[in-house]
Amino acid sequence: MLSKTMNEISLHILDIVANSIVADAQHIAVHVQELSKTDRFIVSIRDDGRGIDPKILPAVADPFVSTKPTRRAGLGLSLLENACTSTGGKIEVQSDFRGTVVTAIFRHSHIDRLPLGDLASTIMALVASNPGLAITYRHEVNSDLFEFDVNQLSEWFPDLGYEALFTPVVLQWLRRYLEESIELLRRRAHAQTPSR
């Protein structure tokens, strides 16, 4: 079953971002907050796409609500909502013609809270498959923060043309950079948490 394969939060992020891309977003901001102190694990995806049709917005997380021409079922938001509510959390969807914000709130410590998964590969895959899309990624673990903006790539590799930024060598480098940055963020946050 599909819900069994969506066993990492990073896969849900990929799926929710796909909605933003279909909605012609030019800018997508992924924000992850791991707040063990307040027992919240919050993921938000903000886009500047065309927004959710107001007619379907109130029931948008219903599995039978979709504007896809190919089939009547829309599972993305509904599976994410299930993943949140099974931990005692919820999703919030705000949308208008300026764009959409999907916020998924999980209880951090809940046994059913999915692991984050390989977010470095997820962000790299988003960058790789959407050249020209302004992607920003912000990750907080308690009070520690890591931020990445896809525009940084052209600052870091000024000698490469824009196209060359989306070739395997740079993308592999990016994945490792993101992996190491997330790892460092975790280690820093861990070092600051007093052991009980």
For residue 49, the minimal CB distance to ligand ATP (Å) is 5
Query: Is residue 34 close enough to count as binding ligand ATP by CB under 6 A?
Result: no
Task: Measure CA 170 to chain center.
Answer: 21
When binding is defined by CB under 6 A, the residue of 33, 78, 87, 122 that contacts ligand ATP is 78
For residue 75, the minimal CB distance to Mg ion (Å) is 7
- Strand order of the sheet with strand 40-47? 90-96, 99-107, 40-47, 27-35, 134-141, 144-149
User: Residue 94's beta-bridge partner residues?
Assistant: 101
For residue 62, the minimal CB distance to Mg ion (Å) is 13
Query: Is residue 77 close enough to count as binding ligand ATP by CB under 6 A?
Result: yes
Query: Is residue 67 close enough to count as binding ligand ATP by CB under 6 A?
Result: yes
The span from the CA of 50 to the CA of 188, in Å, is: 39
DSSP H helices, the chain, are 2-5, 9-22, 76-85, 119-129, 152-156, 168-192
For residue 58, the minimal CB distance to Mg ion (Å) is 17
Q: Considering CB distances under 5 to 8 angstroms, the limit depending on partner class, which of Mg ion, ligand ATP, none binds residue 10?
A: none
Query: Is residue 76 close enough to count as binding Mg ion by CB under 5 A?
Result: yes
Query: Is residue 20 close enough to count as binding Mg ion by CB under 5 A?
Result: no
The span from the CA of 83 to the CA of 125, in Å, is: 23
**Which chain residues interact with Mg ion by CB under 5 A?**
19, 76
